[in-house]
């Protein structure tokens, strides 16, 4: 019987399964785990029932410390209790974890594993949080993919109940928690059948209850404490077989074979990797790739990391293996090796069979683990003395321990179409792509995967949507490195980002821009032109902004871009795509009235018919940019900030961070980050202005700054530099300067303006750029200040210190921008 399939992310899969087995969920939100708790909360509010026919009781606490305490108390009261957390949140739960485990309570923590903050914090995935709990007595169960989360989260709950040991069930934050996959769903009826109802009954009966009181949590002396810790051993000894048993049941249900340790690869492998988490899916791809080339390699995926059963561990490793590389996705300062590596070596020590074992770190801090990293690891194992204690995925020119990256190979299953979309945070690109993947996932027999890369800037930052589609299940738990299709939804990006990186030979590129075929050659950077020509790229443009304005959709270009994508990428028949898109629009916008639906339907039609196929002349292959004289800028900006902003931070070597070991970053860097991302920026209408300066006060990016100029300064201003007489300040000229390149287009300024006729009006960025030079001028009027982002306001209405500032800044060389801003506001 074909199982029901659904397109969802890892968090949703975990929430789906955990809800089934949960009486009480004690929660506190932390990225990237929040969605699990939010879903449970939402479902409970909607009255969804768990396998016991009851609504889950949700308790939101004041911190993860409180959530863990509530879990403990609720379990002792006989309720199956669950929580969801990550990173520092998990660390706050550690004290209670010892208690929950010590008291043999079947709680389950679902953890979207995430970096623990050290010299910097990060919301992305590695195992440093989970590894900080490996000594608590919790069982640790790991999954490598969204489908595995669906399959094995159930094993965690079932085994906790039967085995009387709490479980920490984890999968990689963002990579698995936020990756959308079309997966098979386990139904609650099936899960209910797997439950050990007798064990559950025992658990409920042994809860603390005033009707039959008992004593727990005694304070013990050294006479009996040791003995009383040893008596629990058998629960941990029995657990591996219990977990293996439930895995067998899941295997029976799903046809997917699960063990505590899953071996994948050549049965007679000579080299092998041992790893845990999402990277295992990438390793499997590389194993297939290399074995197809005649190599003999394999992978042991660790699912049950604690209790660590050496017996099961040894069972699956082919005796032909001579060399092993253990990959840990964590870094433990001070340990001479990472935890899984320590375990593996210790497990093999003293055995007759002594393979060569090396180990290293990869994927730390959420670093994408891609096939070339893995290929590099297998390559390293070929050496007589493979490099040990290595890192992979970075260039380490300080410690010199990084492996050279392997070949840039394409290991994604053949027949998969990979599509990448460059968007602007909150421009609708991500939402449209989520809708696209559901259309394809839920309406066709195709598998689909989506991952949305965006940085912590969120709204206003760059978003890159990575979509894969195909007839075969998709592993590839990494960003698209080989794309069939790339769309760029913001024309400014072509100057700032390596938009075409990874586009396959003959692939398609869709650029949203206002340029005609005639203009395009003069607009594109030379490198882009060369890439397009050399790689026979099918190059399309569409003026989505223009079309949206024309239809009346304002800046909402996502429907236009989406239909253009369906047309060009040709993943499903265009006719179907149009129908599904229009149905989706009707569903989403139906309640906003016929007109809105009609506009969006028009956008879909226009999207298909307004694509312009660009003719690529032969001379593009020799294109060269004019030499540009760049201003002298500080090393940090040149060497770190600019590459990071260009989305090329992954290539920064370790040495780029020398002297920043303790997490110190220079200030004043936004002065060099003129992003120009706003579609609409404010224009100052001098006649309407009442000089209240509220617009300046509310601007979160210091875009709007009131200036006062004396006569001398005013007379030195260029033409078009309009001002008005300053209120209450004789002989001074007032002006609101606007820095369009800093603006994100939020419109707060225009909204707050109390003038009868708004003195700030949002206009398309292009029309405002003339102001930029004026702004530059304003910045330059004092000869003493540093040339960027620092300015003098002479005769200002502000306190005296401000006036003194520019000179001092230029003099001391210390982050003048920050000082200026703090002095102003």
Report the candidate in 500, 565, 573 with the shortest Cα–Cα distance to residue 537: 500
Site for a copy of itself in 120-159 (CB under 8 A): 120-124, 128, 131-132, 134-140
CA quadruple 554, 558, 564, 567: dihedral positive or negative?
Answer: negative
Enter the tokens of residue 430: 């991500």
Q: Which residues of 425-459 are buried (b: 16+ CB within 10 A; e: fewer)?
A: bbbbbbbbbbbbbbbbbeebebbbbbbbbbbeeee
Site for a copy of itself in 378-437 (CB under 8 A): 391, 393-396, 398-399, 401
Query: What backbone torsions phi and psi does residue 41 show, to the nearest 5 degrees?
Result: -60, -45
Q: Are 69 and 209 in contact (CB under 8 A)?
A: no
For position 95 contacting a copy of itself by CB under 8 A, the verdict is yes
Strand partners, 298: 265, 272
Q: How far is the CB of 308 from a copy of itself (least distance, A)?
A: 5
Q: Choose the stretch contacting a copy of itself; rule: CB under 8 A; options: 114-122, 502-510, 576-584, 720-728.
A: 114-122
Q: Which of 54, 233, 516, 773 binds a copy of itself (CB under 8 A)?
A: 233
For position 88 contacting a copy of itself by CB under 8 A, the verdict is yes
For position 607 contacting a copy of itself by CB under 8 A, the verdict is no
Kind and range of the H or E run holding 794? none
Site for a copy of itself in 616-645 (CB under 8 A): 640, 644
Q: Which of 217, 552, 554, 617 binds a copy of itself (CB under 8 A)?
A: 217
Classify residue 470 by its DSSP letter: E
Q: 632 exposed, middle or buried (CB, 10 Å; 0-12, 13-18, 19+)?
A: exposed
Q: Which of 45, 346, 686, 722 binds a copy of itself (CB under 8 A)?
A: 346
Q: Which is nearer to a copy of itself, 131 or 494 (CB)?
A: 131
For position 271 contacting a copy of itself by CB under 8 A, the verdict is no
Q: Which of 2, 189, 234, 719 binds a copy of itself (CB under 8 A)?
A: 234
For position 716 contacting a copy of itself by CB under 8 A, the verdict is no
Residues touching a copy of itself, count (CB under 8 A): 128
Site for a copy of itself in 779-818 (CB under 8 A): 814-815, 818
Q: Which is nearer to a copy of itself, 629 or 822 (CB)?
A: 822
Site for a copy of itself in 302-321 (CB under 8 A): 306-310
Q: Are 351 and 299 in contact (CB under 8 A)?
A: no
Site for a copy of itself in 65-84 (CB under 8 A): 65
Q: How far is the CB of 667 from a copy of itself (least distance, A)?
A: 5
Q: How far is the CB of 669 from a copy of itself (least distance, A)?
A: 8
Report the candidate in 758, 796, 789 with the shortest Cα–Cα distance to residue 775: 789
Strand partners, 707: 735
Q: How far is the CB of 341 from a copy of itself (least distance, A)?
A: 7
Three-state secondary structure along 422-462? EEECCCCHHHHHHHHHHHHHHHCCCEEEEEEEECCCCCCCE
Site for a copy of itself in 349-368 (CB under 8 A): 349-350, 354, 356-357, 361, 363-368
Three-state secondary structure along 694-735? HHHHHCCCCCEEEEEECHHHHHHCCCCCCCEECCCCCCCEEE
Q: How far is the CB of 161 from a copy of itself (least distance, A)?
A: 14
Q: Which is nearer to a copy of itself, 457 or 579 (CB)?
A: 457
Instruction: Please give the Cα distance from 253 to 247 (Å, whole number).
Output: 10
Q: Which is nearer to a copy of itself, 231 or 292 (CB)?
A: 231
Residue appearing with tokens 């210390």: 814
Site for a copy of itself in 494-533 (CB under 8 A): none
Q: Which is nearer to a copy of itself, 96 or 771 (CB)?
A: 96
Distances (CA, A) of 482 to 417, 502, 508: 9, 5, 12
Site for a copy of itself in 653-712 (CB under 8 A): 653-658, 660-667
Q: Which is nearer to a copy of itself, 308 or 539 (CB)?
A: 308
Q: How far is the CB of 725 from a copy of itself (least distance, A)?
A: 37
Distances (CA, A) of 727 to 719, 724, 734, 735, 759: 23, 9, 8, 11, 15
Q: How far is the CB of 615 from a copy of itself (least distance, A)?
A: 36
């Amino acid at each position: 019987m074909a199982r029901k399939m659904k397109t969802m992310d890892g968090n949703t899969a975990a929430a789906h399964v955990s809800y089934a087995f949960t009486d009480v969920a004690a929660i506190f939100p932390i990225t990237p785990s929040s969605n699990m708790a939010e879903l449970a909360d939402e479902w409970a509010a909607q009255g969804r029932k768990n396998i016991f026919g009851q609504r889950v009781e949700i308790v939101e606490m004041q911190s993860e410390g409180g959530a863990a305490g509530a879990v403990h108390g609720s379990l002792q009261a006989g309720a199956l209790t669950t929580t969801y957390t990550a990173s520092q949140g998990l660390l706050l739960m550690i004290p209670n974890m010892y208690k929950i485990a010590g008291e043999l309570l079947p709680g389950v923590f679902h953890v979207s594993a995430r970096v623990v903050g050290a010299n910097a914090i990060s919301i992305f995935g590695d195992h440093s949080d989970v590894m900080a709990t490996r000594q608590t007595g919790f069982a640790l169960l790991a999954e490598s993919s969204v489908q595995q989360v669906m399959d094995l989260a159930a094993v965690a709950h079932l085994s906790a109940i039967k085995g009387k040991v709490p479980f920490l069930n984890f999968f990689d934050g963002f990579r698995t928690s936020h990756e959308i996959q079309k997966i098979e769903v386990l139904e609650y009826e099936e899960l209910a059948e797997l439950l050990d109802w007798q064990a559950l009954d025992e658990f409920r009966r042994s809860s603390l209850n005033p009707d039959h009181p008992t004593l727990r949590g005694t304070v013990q002396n050294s006479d009996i404490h040791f003995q009383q810790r040893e008596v629990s051993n058998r629960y941990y000894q029995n657990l591996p077989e219990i977990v293996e048993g439930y895995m067998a049941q899941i295997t029976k249900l799903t046809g997917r074979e699960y063990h505590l340790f899953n071996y994948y690869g050549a049965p007679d492998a000579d080299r092998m990797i041992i790893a845990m988490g999402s990277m295992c899916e990438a390793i499997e791809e590389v194993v297939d790739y290399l074995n197809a080339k005649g190599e003999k390699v394999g992978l042991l995926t660790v699912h049950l990391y604690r209790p660590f059963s050496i017996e099961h561990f040894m069972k699956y490793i082919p005796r032909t293996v001579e060399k092993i590389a253990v990959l840990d996705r964590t870094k433990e300062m001070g340990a001479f090796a990472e935890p899984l590596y320590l375990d593996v070596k210790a497990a093999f020590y003293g055995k007759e069979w002594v393979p060569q074992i090396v180990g290293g770190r990869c994927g730390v801090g959420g670093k994408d683990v891609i096939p070339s990293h893995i290929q590099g690891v297998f390559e390293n194992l070929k050496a007589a003395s493979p490099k040990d204690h290595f890192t992979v995925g970075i260039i380490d020119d300080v410690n010199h321990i990084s492996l050279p990256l392997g070949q840039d190979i394409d290991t994604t299953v053949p027949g998969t179409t990979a599509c990448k979309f460059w968007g602007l945070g909150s421009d609708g690109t991500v939402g449209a792509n989520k809708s696209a993947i559901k259309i394809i996932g839920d309406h066709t027999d195709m598998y689909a995967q989506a991952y949305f890369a965006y940085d912590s800037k969120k709204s206003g930052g760059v978003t890159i949507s990575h979509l894969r589609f195909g007839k075969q299940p998709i592993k590839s738990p990494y960003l698209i490195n080989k794309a069939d299709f790339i769309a760029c939804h913001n024309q400014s990006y072509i100057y700032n980002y390596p938009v075409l990186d990874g586009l396959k030979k003959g692939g398609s590129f869709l650029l949203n821009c206002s340029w005609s075929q005639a203009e395009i050659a003069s607009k594109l950077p030379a490198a882009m032109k060369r890439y397009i020509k050399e790689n026979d790229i099918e190059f399309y443009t569409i003026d989505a902004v223009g079309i949206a304005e024309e239809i009346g959709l304002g800046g909402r270009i996502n429907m236009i871009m989406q239909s253009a994508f369906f047309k060009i990428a040709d993943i499903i028949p265009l006719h179907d795509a149009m129908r599904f898109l229009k149905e989706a629009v009707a569903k989403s916008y139906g309640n906003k009235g016929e007109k809105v639906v009609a506009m969006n339907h028009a956008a879909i039609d226009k999207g298909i018919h307004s694509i312009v196929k660009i003719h690529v002349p032969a001379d593009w292959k020799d294109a060269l940019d004019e030499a540009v004289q760049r201003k002298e800028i500080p090393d940090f900006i040149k060497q770190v900030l600019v590459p990071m902003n260009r989305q090329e931070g992954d290539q920064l070597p370790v040495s780029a961070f020398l002297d920043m070991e303790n997490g110190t970053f220079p200030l004043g860097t936004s002065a060099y980050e003129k992003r120009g991302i706003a579609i609409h920026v404010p224009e100052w209408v001098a006649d309407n202005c009442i000089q209240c300066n509220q617009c300046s006060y509310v601007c979160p990016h210091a875009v709007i700054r009131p200036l006062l100029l004396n006569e001398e300064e005013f007379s030195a201003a260029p033409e078009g530099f309009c001002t008005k007489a300053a209120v209450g300040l004789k002989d001074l000229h007032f002006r609101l300067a606007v820095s369009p390149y800093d603006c994100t287009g939020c419109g707060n300024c225009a909204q707050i303006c109390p003038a009868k006729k708004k003195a700030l009006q949002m206009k398309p960025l292009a029309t405002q750029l003339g102001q930029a030079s004026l702004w530059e001028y304003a910045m330059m009027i004092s000869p003493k200040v540093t040339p960027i982002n620092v300015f003098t306001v002479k005769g200002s209405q502000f306190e005296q210190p401000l006036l003194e500032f520019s000179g001092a800044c230029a003099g001391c060389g210390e982050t003048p921008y920050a000082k200026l801003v703090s002095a102003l506001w």
